[in-house]
Amino acid sequence: MDIHQFARNGEVENLLKLVKNDSSLINLKDQRGFTPLIMATYNEQFEAAKLILELGAEINEQDDSGNTALMGVCFKGSISMAKLLIENNADINKQNFNGATALIFAATFGHKELITLLLQNGAMKDIADNKGNTALIQAKMQGVDEIIVLLS
């Protein structure tokens, strides 16, 4: 097993052993550009993600599409992971290679609580992706009135 599998599965002890032997592994990317942090957060392995951050992982590292760990959890809808990343200074307004932000992902997938959290922590509503779509435009496309009100 490698560091990405340990992160995906939440194998904290194995993660710690690997990184203690080779600290460069903490930001190692797999064939899709996923870091151990992206794997742990996307798979909702809270303790593994927390450990990876404590071991010095680059919180805003991007995968091959430009997505960060925060973007991934906003796609999936994990409040606890989003809070962990925000508390550790994730760049809320970072854009992926298509110009999307965590807020745009949260709006696209209808995660109202995440949208509120992101806005409370400085997410900018006016950032548009490469197609000119803001979080509000995405919310309107989804037709979720509560989210449209939040973003208006």
Is pLDDT at 1 greater than 80 in this prediction? no
Whether 52 and 70 share a structural domain: no
Between 117 and 20, name the one with better pLDDT.
117
- Tokens found for residue 65: 């599409």
Confidence label for 148 from pLDDT (cuts 50, 70 and 90): very high
Confidence label for 141 from pLDDT (cuts 50, 70 and 90): very high
Whether 47 and 107 share a structural domain: no
Q: What is the mean pLDDT of the chain?
A: 95
Is pLDDT at 151 greater than 80 in this prediction? yes
The whole-number average pLDDT for the span 91-99 is 98
Residue 96 Ramachandran class (φ > 0 left, ψ -120 to 50 alpha, else beta):
beta
Q: For residue 44, give the DSSP letter.
A: T
Q: What is the structure's pLDDT at 144?
A: 87
Whether 51 and 119 share a structural domain: no
Is pLDDT at 70 greater than 80 in this prediction? yes
User: What Cα–Cα distance (Å) separates residue 49 from each residue in 7, 112, 113, 129?
Assistant: 7, 23, 21, 28
Residue 149 Ramachandran class (φ > 0 left, ψ -120 to 50 alpha, else beta):
alpha
pTM: 0.95
Q: What is the structure's pLDDT at 89?
A: 97
Is pLDDT at 121 greater than 80 in this prediction? yes
Whether 85 and 144 share a structural domain: yes
116 Cβ contact partners less than 8 Å away, ≥ 6 residues apart: 150
67 within 8 A of 96, measured Cβ to Cβ: yes
- Tokens found for residue 35: 């870091």
Tokens 């080779």 sit on residue: 22
Question: What residue numbers bound the domain in which 11 lies?
Answer: 1-58
Whether 80 and 21 share a structural domain: no
Confidence label for 27 from pLDDT (cuts 50, 70 and 90): very high
Type of residue numbered 26? I
